[in-house]
C-alpha cells in the first residue's frame, strides 16, 4: 500500500518557507530533458499493464482484472487515450517475467488466464452500460501452460466519462471464449471515480509506482475560459500583447507571467486547501483537482489547482510550464527561454494573498520588468514573493530533482503532451464569470 506520505494531499508550504528576503540573483538550472521526461512517462504506462490491474474476482478458469483495486478513473482513461508507447520491439521486457500481456498494454479492464494448450484461440469481451461500447480481443495463446493477461482495446465513451462528477458503482461484465468454448461469464462491481479525481500513486504487490504525470491532464490550454482571462490581463495594462519567447528577453517573459498573476489576483483567486474525496482507496492515492473553470469561477485553488490553472494560461501564450512535486506539495515552474534551458519556480499558493507592507520584495532588475507604479502594487509584491519561494525550494532540492528521486519531480507539460497525455476537455454548463461577478454570455 502507499506509504503514509503518499496518502497526504498536496498542501501549502509553511510560512517559514516564504519569509526569507529574496536572493541577490535568481538561481537558474537546466530543465530536465524533454526526451527523458517522455521516456519516464512511457515507462510508467507500460508498467501499469504488467503490475497494476488488481484481481477483482476469480473462478477456476480465469481471473477478472477490473481497474486498480476495483477503481476506474475517468481522468486516466481520457488523458491516456492517445498516448504513444514505444514499439514492442523497443521495450526492455523483464526476461524473467512469467506473464505475457496481449491487447492494449495500457488497459485496465481484462482477464488473466493460463493457456490450456499451444496455439489456443481466445476471445475476451468486456461490457459496461453507459461508459463504453462492447469491446473484444481475439488472438492466439502460443504456449501451453503460460499465463496471459488480455486487455481488449476498450471503446470508451469519452464524452460520458468527462461528465462524471461523482463516484458511482458500475457493473462490468467479462466473457471469455477459448477454442470455441465459452467459459462462465463474470460480472463485477467497480467504483467509477469522478473526473476530478486524479490518481498519482498506485501500489501493487508491494511495489509503488508514481504516475504524477497525470496532473498534466488538468492543464488545459484549450479551455475557453483561458482566452477570457488573457483578455482581462491585457485590459489591465501590464502588457500590451502576449508574445511568448519571441523577444528573447527574460524580462519580457517575467512581465507576461506577472500580467497573468495580476489578472488572477484581481479576480481574487485564493488558496484553499480543500482536497476531500468521497471515494478513497489505500491501493490508489488520488487527489481531487478542480478543472480550470471551477477554479476561475469559484475563486478557490489549492496548490495543484493553482498550478494547473497558471500552467494552462502560460501554455496558451507559448511559455512552457512544468509542475514541480515535493513531498506533500506542488508548485509551478516556467521556462525563461524557448529552449527550456533556464526555469524559474513560482509558489502558486501565494496568489491572491496580501503583501506585508514591511517586507519589501523585488526581482533582480525588476525595473526592467514593470515600472514603479506596478511595482508598488500588492500583486507585484506577492509575485516576487512567489518567485522567491519557488526558487529557494528548487535550489534546496536541486540535487534530488537531478537524481530522479520519485518524491521530487519536475514534470514538463510539453513532455506530457509529446507522449500523448491529453488535457481533460471542457464539458460543463459553467458560464464564465467576468471580474464584476456577472456571467459572460
- Give pLDDT, residue 364: 81
pLDDT 10s digits, 176-233: 999 999 999 999 999 999 999 999 888 877 777 888 889 999 999 999 999 999 999 9
pLDDT 10s digits, 35-88: 555 556 555 565 555 554 544 455 568 999 999 989 999 999 999 998 876 665
- Give pLDDT, residue 157: 97
The CATH number for 52-195, chosen from 3.30.2320.80, 1.25.40.10, 2.60.40.10, 3.30.70.2500, is 2.60.40.10
Helix (H, G, I), strand (E, B) or coil at 91: coil
User: CA 198 to CA 256: how far, in whole Å?
Assistant: 29
- Give pLDDT, residue 7: 43
Mean of all residue pLDDT scores within the chain: 82
If one counts every other C-beta atom within 10 angstroms of the C-beta of residue 441, the result is 5
Average pLDDT over residues 122-140: 97
Q: Which residue has the higher pLDDT, 355 or 257?
A: 257
Average pLDDT over residues 7-25: 35
Average pLDDT over residues 274-292: 75
User: CA 104 to CA 57: how far, in whole Å?
Assistant: 20
Take residue 18 and report the three cell numbers written for it.
516564504
Q: Which residue has the higher pLDDT, 134 or 265?
A: 134
User: CA 220 to CA 57: how far, in whole Å?
Assistant: 37
Q: Strands 109-114 and 168-178, how do they pair?
A: unpaired
- Give pLDDT, residue 279: 55
What length does the chain have? Answer: 441
Q: List the beta bridge partners of residue 127.
A: 173
- Give pLDDT, residue 42: 59
pLDDT > 70: what percent of the chain?
77
Q: Which residue has the higher pLDDT, 164 or 360?
A: 164
Nearest to 265, CA basis, from 374, 354, 357: 354
- Give pLDDT, residue 403: 79
Nearest to 324, CA basis, from 337, 333, 311: 333
Average pLDDT over residues 397-416: 87
Q: Is the pLDDT of residue 145 over 80?
A: yes
DSSP H helical ranges for 350-418: 372-375, 378-396, 398-402, 413-418
Average pLDDT over residues 82-101: 64
Nearest to 31, CA basis, from 382, 422, 345, 347: 345
Q: Which residue has the higher pLDDT, 52 or 164?
A: 164
What residue spans define the domains of the chain? Answer: 4-30+215-418, 52-195
Q: Which residue has the higher pLDDT, 151 or 96?
A: 151
Amino acid at each position: 500500500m502507499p506509504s503514509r506520505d503518499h496518502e497526504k494531499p498536496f498542501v501549502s508550504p509553511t510560512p517559514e518557507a516564504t519569509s526569507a528576503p529574496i536572493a541577490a540573483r535568481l538561481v537558474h538550472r537546466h530543465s530536465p530533458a524533454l526526451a527523458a521526461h517522455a521516456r519516464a512517462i512511457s515507462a510508467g504506462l507500460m508498467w501499469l499493464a504488467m503490475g497494476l490491474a488488481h484481481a477483482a474476482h476469480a473462478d477456476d478458469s480465469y481471473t477478472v482484472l477490473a481497474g486498480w483495486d476495483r477503481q476506474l478513473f475517468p481522468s486516466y482513461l481520457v488523458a491516456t487515450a492517445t498516448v504513444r508507447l514505444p514499439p514492442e520491439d523497443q521495450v526492455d521486457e523483464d526476461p524473467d517475467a512469467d506473464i505475457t500481456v496481449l491487447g492494449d498494454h495500457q488497459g485496465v479492464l481484462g482477464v488473466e488466464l493460463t493457456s490450456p494448450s499451444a496455439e489456443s484461440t481466445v476471445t475476451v469481451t468486456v461490457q459496461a452500460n453507459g461508459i463504453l461500447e462492447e469491446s473484444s480481443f481475439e488472438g492466439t495463446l502460443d504456449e501451453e501452460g503460460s499465463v496471459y493477461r488480455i486487455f481488449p482495446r476498450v471503446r470508451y465513451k469519452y464524452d460520458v466519462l468527462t461528465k462524471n462528477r461523482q463516484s458511482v458503482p458500475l457493473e462490468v461484465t467479462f466473457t471469455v471464449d477459448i477454442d470455441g468454448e465459452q467459459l462462465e461469464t463474470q460480472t463485477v462491481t467497480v467504483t467509477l471515480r469522478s473526473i476530478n479525481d486524479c490518481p498519482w500513486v498506485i501500489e501493487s504487490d508491494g511495489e509503488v509506482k508514481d504516475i504524477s504525470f497525470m496532473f498534466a491532464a488538468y492543464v488545459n490550454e484549450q479551455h475557453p475560459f483561458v482566452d477570457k482571462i488573457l483578455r482581462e490581463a491585457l485590459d489591465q495594462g501590464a502588457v500590451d500583447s502576449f508574445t511568448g519567447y519571441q523577444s528573447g528577453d527574460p524580462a519580457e517573459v517575467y512581465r507576461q507571467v506577472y500580467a497573468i498573476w495580476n489578472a488572477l489576483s484581481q479576480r481574487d483567486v485564493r488558496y484553499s486547501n480543500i482536497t476531500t474525496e468521497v471515494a478513497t482507496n489505500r491501493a490508489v492515492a488520488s487527489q481531487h483537482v478542480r478543472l480550470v473553470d471551477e477554479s476561475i469561477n469559484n475563486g478557490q485553488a489549492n496548490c495543484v489547482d493553482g498550478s494547473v490553472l497558471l500552467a494552462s494560461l502560460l501554455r496558451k501564450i507559448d511559455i512552457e510550464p512544468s509542475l514541480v512535486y515535493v513531498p506533500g506539495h506542488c508548485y509551478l515552474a516556467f521556462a525563461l527561454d524557448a529552449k527550456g534551458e533556464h526555469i524559474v519556480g513560482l509558489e502558486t499558493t501565494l496568489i491572491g494573498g496580501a503583501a506585508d507592507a514591511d517586507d519589501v520584495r523585488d526581482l533582480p532588475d525588476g525595473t526592467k520588468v514593470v515600472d514603479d507604479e506596478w511595482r508598488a502594487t500588492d500583486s507585484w509584491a506577492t509575485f516576487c514573493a512567489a518567485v522567491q519561494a519557488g526558487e529557494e525550494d528548487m535550489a534546496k532540492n536541486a540535487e534530488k530533482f537531478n537524481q530522479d528521486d520519485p518524491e521530487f519531480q519536475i514534470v514538463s507539460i510539453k513532455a506530457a503532451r509529446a507522449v500523448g497525455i491529453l488535457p481533460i476537455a471542457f464539458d460543463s454548463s459553467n458560464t464564465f464569470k467576468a471580474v464584476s461577478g456577472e456571467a459572460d454570455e
